[in-house]
Amino acid sequence: MNNKTYLYGRNPIIEALREGKGVEKVFVSFNASGDGINKIYTIAKSNSVQIVKYDRRKFSELEKKAGIPARESQGVIAQRELIKFTALEHLLDLNIKTGYNPVIVALDGIEDPHNLGAIARSAECSGARGLILSTRASAPVTPTAVKASAGALESLRTAKVENLSSALEEAKDEGWWIVGADLGAENSYTDSIYDKPIVLVIGSEGKGIRPQIRQKCDHLVQIPIIGKTQSLNASVSAGVILFEILRQS
């Protein structure tokens, strides 16, 4: 997953450096100067952030690569993480008390960054602890996903795993109950099954949850559809179920 983006402009970079927002490297144009640039040098040095000075040609190439309009960078560009990932074991730690049974959302086959962002937004708004993303079976975290999440992806704990099936097994071993959203399920999403720590698995709109992931679920639930359209958008399904879990908590 690509978890890099670029930030530009003197004041935004100063703020990001001060607040520790994942700035990894700062690129400065050779002719950039002034109080803002001096502050960036000072704060970057105190935070052990590398500063690289580029000549006009290389800096112009970086502006084009980052999609930054000419002269809007103010002579300075920062490379930063879009979000900070957390280790799966920290996300699953049941010693972290929340006052109610915790909820984590795991994504299986969600390929659209807009859907990823919208699901993250619903997860954060409903009080979910975080997300589990698979490097093989979920959309990458991109600026589009972060924007669609309205900032939720930057505040939610998010674990990135190689194998979602193994991650769900680990969750089960730690005492989590795996609930999958599935159109063919016999149980309704309103059933009283959420009295344990829950990992809610959301699959793709076209194929749903993969068979190997479905087998890991303790419960499969469905949202009744009475219209002609056969399924809900994945992010809508996630929101409906997450707020039902919250209602029952």
If one compares 130 and 83, the residue with the highest pLDDT of the two is 130
Q: Which of 110, 200, 105 is nearest to 156 (CA)?
A: 105
pLDDT above 90: percentage of residues in the chain: 63
Half-sphere exposure of 104 (CA within 13 A, CB side): 26
Q: pLDDT tens digit string along 37-96? A: 999 999 999 999 999 999 999 999 999 888 888 788 999 999 887 788 899 999 999 887
* Domain shared by 97 and 211, yes or no: yes
Evaluate if residue 1 carries a pLDDT over 60.
no
d(CA 215, CA 212): 5
Q: pLDDT tens digit string along 210-231? A: 999 999 999 999 998 888 887 7
* Domain shared by 116 and 207, yes or no: yes
CATH of the domain at 46: 3.30.1330.30
d(CA 127, CA 181): 19
* Domain shared by 76 and 117, yes or no: no
Strand segments (E) across the chain: 4-8, 23-29, 50-54, 76-81, 103-108, 130-134, 157-161, 177-181, 187-188, 198-203, 219-222
- Of 35, 62, 81, which closes a domain? 81
d(CA 29, CA 72): 12
* Domain shared by 77 and 92, yes or no: no
* pLDDT for the residue numbered 98: 67
The parent domain of residue 107 ranges over: 88-248
* Domain shared by 44 and 107, yes or no: no
CATH of the domain at 162: 3.40.1280.10
- Of 38, 57, 81, which closes a domain? 81
* pLDDT for the residue numbered 137: 75
Evaluate if residue 16 carries a pLDDT over 90.
no
* Domain shared by 215 and 243, yes or no: yes
What is the rounded average pLDDT for all residues in the chain? 90
* Domain shared by 132 and 67, yes or no: no
C-alpha distances in Å from residue 84, one per residue of 106, 155, 160, 181, 204 = 17, 9, 10, 27, 25
* pLDDT for the residue numbered 3: 66
| Per-residue tokens: 166 | 């193994």
* Domain shared by 113 and 189, yes or no: yes
What pTM was computed for the model?
A: 0.76
If one compares 35 and 19, the residue with the highest pLDDT of the two is 35
Q: pLDDT tens digit string along 142-191? A: 777 888 888 888 889 999 999 999 999 999 999 999 999 998 888 999 99
* Domain shared by 11 and 122, yes or no: no
Specify whether the CB–CB gap between 156 and 128 falls below 8 A.
Answer: yes
* Domain shared by 129 and 113, yes or no: yes
pLDDT above 70: percentage of residues in the chain: 98
* pLDDT for the residue numbered 184: 85
* Domain shared by 123 and 211, yes or no: yes
What domain count does the chain have? Answer: 2
* pLDDT for the residue numbered 2: 58
* pLDDT for the residue numbered 193: 93
* pLDDT for the residue numbered 140: 81
- Of 48, 81, 114, which closes a domain? 81
| Per-residue tokens: 38 | 């001096």
* Domain shared by 19 and 73, yes or no: yes
Question: Dihedrals φ, ψ of 161, to 5°?
Answer: -125, 155
